[in-house]
Amino acid sequence: MISIVLGTRPETIKMSPIIRECETRNLDYFILHSGQHYSYDMDRAFFEDLELPEPKYNLDVGSGTQAGQTAKIMTGIEDILVKESPGIILVQGDTNTVMTGALAAAKLHIRVGHVEAGLRSFDRTMPEEINRVVADHVSDYLFAPTETARQYLLNEGIEENKICVTGNTIVDAVFQNREIAKKGADILDTLGLEPQGYFLVTSHRQENVDNPEKLRSIIAGLEAVHREYSLPVIFPMHPRTRKMVERFGVSLDGISVMSPAGFLEFLQLESNARLVLTDSGGVQEETCILGVPCVTLRENTERPETIEVGGNVLAGTGADRILVSAREMLSRTGSWQNSYGDGTAGGMIVTICNGISSRSSCTR
């Protein structure tokens, strides 16, 4: 039996190809949703939009301190793993759900597969970096998306036979969910936007939005981009970011703020934008796959492949650098090569997991 553990919407997106593979092959599996960021009641529509089956278990732990949330998730996952006794647990990415799921399973001697293993920002001030490192070092199967990620794992002393380069499931997810999105309403029509006629922004990371100086500088950079190009700047604003904008009294001149979009709507906005500015790791990957120029509002990234192929640039949070970086990316053609695979990662991972009882290593 395969246990698929997730707790945030980005995890659901990247696990969706694996879930679909399990459904298609009629495998024995179940989904456990920790509710790390939202209650499952809020996420139910998200699963419906992506045409995914409902989780069997919902912990609904909600937000909290790092330690408090981690404890709640780990206790809940442990109880379910004891009850179900799966052959392998799959976790994805770098959230508290990932780390606690991996730890709980490892302590119960249940094999762990880490999807998107080996990503590194080399910034231990980021909670995500701690989570991904811990998950990698207790996992039995490390599904690395790229050769770069594989090399990082080898550099940390992880055995080569545990590592399998599969590509990134985000490629599968973008291809599959883009087709689903075509069946829905066109958000560009709703917002009165033209393809290639607007800039798209996301920013939610704690180190950016909880710091008043950084937040004001990011907004100033976005305003400068708007003034120079006279194109709408569309900002589906995360609740955390909106709260901090209001708390710090940050004005938003020339920036069109909207409520967070569902993934299918966001995929439409993303694929038709002239430029995306973001501090999200997942968005960096998606824009690279879609051929949309990206400016990353951070000083580092665990997605160096996006920069190496020319689809992304690090701007930090300084207003002047954001404008210069936007100019640079807008001068590029969007013809870079997608370095995250051909959209078959989900199938490869499920094939390995399905044969887990007779497999002692992860063959590449």
Mean pLDDT of the chain: 93
Domain of 242, CATH number, reads: 3.40.50.2000
pLDDT surpasses 70 at 42 = no
Residue 184's pLDDT is 80
Say yes or no: 43 and 17 in one domain. yes
Say yes or no: 28 and 68 in one domain. yes
Count of the separate structural domains present in the chain: 2
Residue 250's pLDDT is 95
Tokens of 121: 């920002």
Kindly indicate the confidence band of residue 364, based on its pLDDT and cuts at 50, 70 and 90: very low
Say yes or no: 145 and 240 in one domain. no
Provide the residue range defining the domain that includes 321: 185-330
Say yes or no: 86 and 202 in one domain. no
Q: Which amino acid is located at 156 in the chain? A: E
In a domain, 337, yes or no: no
Residue carrying the six token digits 């998107």: 116
Identified catalytic residue from 137, 204, 226, 238: 204
Interatomic CA distance for residues 39 and 59, integer angstroms = 8
- Average pLDDT (21-30) is 97
Say yes or no: 160 and 190 in one domain. no
180, with CB counted inside 10 A (0-12, 13-18, 19+), is middle
How does pLDDT run across 336-356, given as a tens digit for each residue?
988 899 999 999 999 999 886
Nearest to 140, CA basis, from 166, 116, 158, 118: 158
Say yes or no: 346 and 325 in one domain. no
In a domain, 350, yes or no: yes
Say yes or no: 207 and 144 in one domain. no
**H helix runs in the chain, sequence order:** 9-24, 40-49, 66-84, 96-107, 127-138, 147-155, 169-181, 187-191, 206-209, 212-229, 239-248, 263-272, 281-290, 304-308, 319-330, 345-354
pLDDT surpasses 70 at 111 = yes
- Average pLDDT (93-108) is 97
Q: Are 169 and 11 in contact (CB under 8 A)?
A: no
In a domain, 364, yes or no: no
Say yes or no: 210 and 157 in one domain. no
- Average pLDDT (90-98) is 96
Residue 361's pLDDT is 62
pTM beyond 0.85: the answer is yes
Interatomic CA distance for residues 238 and 181, integer angstroms = 21
Residue 37's pLDDT is 72
Interatomic CA distance for residues 267 and 282, integer angstroms = 12
| pLDDT greater at residue 49 or residue 192 | 192
pLDDT surpasses 70 at 358 = no
Q: By mean pLDDT, which of 151-155, 205-209, 218-222, 283-287 is the weakest?
A: 205-209
Say yes or no: 57 and 190 in one domain. no
Residue 94's pLDDT is 96
Share of the chain above pLDDT 70, in %: 96
- Average pLDDT (113-118) is 98
Is residue 137 among the annotated active site residues? Answer: no
pLDDT surpasses 70 at 151 = yes
- Average pLDDT (163-183) is 93
In a domain, 177, yes or no: no
In a domain, 336, yes or no: no
How does pLDDT run across 310-324, given as a tens digit for each residue?
999 999 999 999 999
Say yes or no: 237 and 108 in one domain. no
Say yes or no: 237 and 118 in one domain. no
pLDDT surpasses 80 at 267 = yes
In a domain, 179, yes or no: no
In a domain, 308, yes or no: yes
Nearest to 196, CA basis, from 295, 291, 337, 281: 291
Say yes or no: 9 and 144 in one domain. yes
Q: Which residue(s) pair with 256 in the sheet?
A: 234
In a domain, 173, yes or no: no
